[in-house]
Amino acid sequence: MLSEHYTLAAAIGFLLTILSFLIVSKSQQKIVYHRLSSWTSFKRPTSSSITPPRSVSPDKKAPVNAPPPADYKDIFPPWRRESLSIARGDKCLDAGSEIPESLVSERLIPFTADYRICKSPASTYTPMGISLAEVASLGDFTDYAELSGVPLPEPYQDFKIETALPRPYRPLRWGYHQTMSLNRLQTDWWLEVEKSYAERIKERKELFDKNGSMVLDYLPGSELGCKEVMEMALQFLCARYPQYFSLSNSEDQGYVFHNGILHNQTIIRDMHPLHVLLENVPEDFAVMIRNPDDGYYYFRAGIMCSSLGWTVASKLGMQLKEIHSPIPDYKEKMEFSMDRYFSKLPTARPIQRGSWGLEVDTPLFMPPGDPHEKYREAQFPETELPLSRIHLRVDWQTLRRLPLSGAIIFNFKALFTPVEDFR
């Protein structure tokens, strides 16, 4: 009988506890629940380990975590049509008016077409939603700063070519992780000139004379992108270093680039845009064009005098993922992110990144099979390979979208610092 009274009392106590629990606030409920849980002897202990449980056997590889291939055919980069009217005013047909994406998608310029000779230019569009008639109305050396949203650089008034040194790029980190490593571009430093300018231009021209299409080539459909990056590069040099570079325009010659360091001039219309860059800009450029058939980006033109283990000829025409296929973990960790980033990169947000390594001497261009590769295949005693020959090589890269063609431009420059210079 006594045990029945105890059982009844326990039951009543439990019911009162439940009723109290239901009428208190949520925060008070959590406190009560926590205390009840701590009293319960059969509660499963919580692990403090942050290591997830093993889901695969040790002799099997973990599954690839990269998302499946995405469909970018109907994804366009951010447009800046509103800048057309400011760039050239009344000369732009329907400047700034809204164009439906569905219309642009139906009437995109074909992948291999030359924008200058396309039929129906008023109704044929670039991926930036700009018609070829609007492109033509802008003319040469238009206001790319307005079109892109990236201002021209401030003039470097105190710059002297005789004593100028390159900035000491140091993209070093203690821990190694394969990532995109992107930072916003310091736009005043997109292109850089220093005291080795004339020597570098000479070296690059000699590399082209010797190697031809291994360092410079272009495919059909890249005409507008090549023109844009050349004109933007020359505008940049004239704005940044006005004491050394300038542009003039006349009826008989058209636009002429005047180079006060090399003491020569380049008639723009007389040569391909990439050759204009070869003659005047000691940096590399790769032109990536959007393919309307799949929305992915392909390497369609470039000048590359500082590549290691590859050439323009070996990569031209490839999709982004094909170019980077030799990179460890690219497919698993970076392919999806890179493709998505390319599809959405705005013109107003150029970025920069750097990669580095140790190099014997200062080889600028090293194609596959180059004799210099022997230094990568073995270790050498200091009697054969003194420390004085070892350099830190930094490949500084920028990435930006062009405002008319929608092409994405990789820009590279190689910088060498003797290891003995470091403390």
Which pLDDT value is given to residue 150? 97
Asked whether the beta carbons of 365 and 215 are under 8 A apart, the reply is yes
Confidence of residue 376 (pLDDT cuts 50, 70, 90): confident
Mean pLDDT for the stretch of residues 356-367: 86
Residue 36 has pLDDT above 60, yes or no: no
Please state, rounded to an integer, the average pLDDT across all residues of the chain.
82
Total length of the chain: 423
Model-level pTM?
0.79
Mean pLDDT for the stretch of residues 228-234: 98
Confidence of residue 286 (pLDDT cuts 50, 70, 90): very high
Which of 253, 5, 273 lies closest to 115 in space, CA to CA?
A: 273
418 phi, psi to nearest 5 deg: -55, 135
How far apart are the C-alpha atoms of 370 and 388, rounded to whole Å? 22
pLDDT digit string, tens, across residues 385-419: 888 888 888 888 999 999 999 999 999 998 888 88
**163 CB-contact burial (10 Å; exposed 0-12 / middle 13-18 / buried 19+):** exposed
Which pLDDT value is given to residue 170? 67
Which residue did the predictor score with more confidence, 328 or 137? 137
Secondary structure, 3-state, 132-156? HHHHHHHCCCCCHHHHHCCCCCCCC
Which pLDDT value is given to residue 364? 87
Asked whether the beta carbons of 335 and 65 are under 8 A apart, the reply is no
Radius of gyration of the chain (CA): 30
The first and second tokens of residue 163, run together, are 């004593």
Which residue did the predictor score with more confidence, 42 or 282? 282
Confidence of residue 324 (pLDDT cuts 50, 70, 90): confident
Helix (H) or strand (E) holding 266: strand 264-267
3-state SS assignment for residue 300: strand
Residue 205 has pLDDT above 70, yes or no: yes
Asked whether the beta carbons of 18 and 33 are under 8 A apart, the reply is no
Residue 169 has pLDDT above 70, yes or no: no
Paired residues of 399 in beta bridges: 351, 410
Which pLDDT value is given to residue 332? 80
Residue 31 has pLDDT above 80, yes or no: no
Which of 72, 75, 65, 223 lies closest to 136 in space, CA to CA?
A: 223
Confidence of residue 90 (pLDDT cuts 50, 70, 90): low
How far apart are the C-alpha atoms of 366 and 395, rounded to whole Å? 14
The first and second tokens of residue 158, run together, are 């105190």
Confidence of residue 89 (pLDDT cuts 50, 70, 90): low
How far apart are the C-alpha atoms of 242 and 351, rounded to whole Å? 25
Eight-state DSSP code of residue 216: E
